A and B are shown apart, each in its own frame.
Chain A
């Protein structure tokens, strides 16, 4: 247990960075993903085309390469300096946004067209068709897959360790590079794995709970 108790400061830092990348990456992913998802289902052909291009390009690029572009590529453009952490958050946000967009689009498509047609037929304006009829139904079928996207995002934060961002797996090199800190790489990595298993189980439990609560009775 020395590896935990003697390095408490490092573990705190590691978990802090992981949660930081997770929350802000998730925030960017949700905002950008909602915009791209809206473009993908909009009545404007050019917006649909741009959304499709974005989703297809980024989804077929490995996350490591997206990180590569942001962390190494950004500095080549001679723009104001940003820390690796900020660039990493941008990379993971831009990558995850495509998955959020696809989930939202799939959710909207599960609502039968007849629902919206009926709503329009009884004279509801666009805002009410959306807020009273379409979105409540789409929301229910979006929640479970969106939670899966968020779980994947949490696991993807580990990639940031490969680019010198202080998330949990980076502890392995920090501890083995210092001579005073106790713990072998195996111990550190197994604890990191255990933390992720615990966090993923927590999110999976939350997913099940939300799913049961908002299950559609059709």
Chain B
């Protein structure tokens, strides 16, 4: 096992690695032991602290709060994908009067922190006489921010495509919309799928910001639970944290699975061998070269 940092370890390096491993174990064990010791000392493992979680109603409440989190996430994800496509197409436009305003909007919404956007919608708009539900403040703020981030990703995906793709589209008589919809965007989405899903994981995590503007989601409920008898604040945070980690890990795993799947199909040589119609650039060039040679000979 050789990497850029080290070679296959010899006897001395093996000894040193064993010492480093021992040091790591000791340091990590010390940190864990310290935390557990504080937990024991402040009575965090006492039954009264965990008592709340033996009630069915608490779990029913937790699942309804989980549903609220997922509702905000689902709406924000769908809307930000839609906004992302619109802004990406707008920024790739050939008309200056479309391209420049869209570029400004994208850059500004990328620069404003999501929490400030949420606060503008929730605390700011009532100044102008518009009352907004926390749910919509969360969803719209996440839509604006993640929409502009996704737009940048899609634009980068389109711009990374070889120019020949677009030219070939025009050559077979497609219009601008056809070239974008049928040729450029499908390839850009495929190339950028890992980035898109990673951004959706960020969206899921950012729904927790709704806690600060009193949206009734998981973290809000954790705070609420901590006022129950026994004040189980760490316990509530641990359980809610576990739920978040599981949700985000599931999405990340889905992203990895999708990435592997998409990598398998288009340009992988093993797949290409089974597909006689596979035409990557190299084979096309060699076919054209062969045809030219043939013509020259005749």
Contacts and interface: CB of A to CB of B under 8 A. Distances in A.
**Chain A complexes with chain B:** yes
Interface of A: 39, 41-47, 50, 56-57, 59-65, 68-69, 72-73, 76-79, 108-109, 111-113, 115-117, 120, 126, 130, 134, 155-156, 158-159, 161-162, 169, 172, 176, 184-187, 189-190, 192-193, 196-197, 200-201, 204
Contacts of A44: 17, 20-21, 24
A98 B13 CA distance: 28
5 contacts: A43-B13, A76-B231, A158-B116, A186-B125, A196-B111
At the interface, is chain B mostly helix, strand, loop or mixed? helix
Chain B, interface residues (CB within 8 Å), range = 35 or more
A111 B3 CA distance: 10
Contacts of A155: 111, 113-114
Given A134-B4, A201-B111, A77 B38 contact: yes
B111 to A, nearest CB: 4
Which of A63, A130, A158, A161 has the most B CB atoms < 10 Å from its CB?
A: A158
Contacts of A45: 21
A106 to B, nearest CB: 12
Interface in B46-102: none
Contact of A62 (B28, B38, B108, B205): B205
Given A46-B21, A46-B24, A189 B5 contact: no
Contacts of A126: 6
B266 interface: no
A4 to B, nearest CB: 16
A193 B7 contact: no
B227 to A, nearest CB: 11
Nearest to A195: B116
Interface string B102-145: 00000110111111110110011111100000000000000000
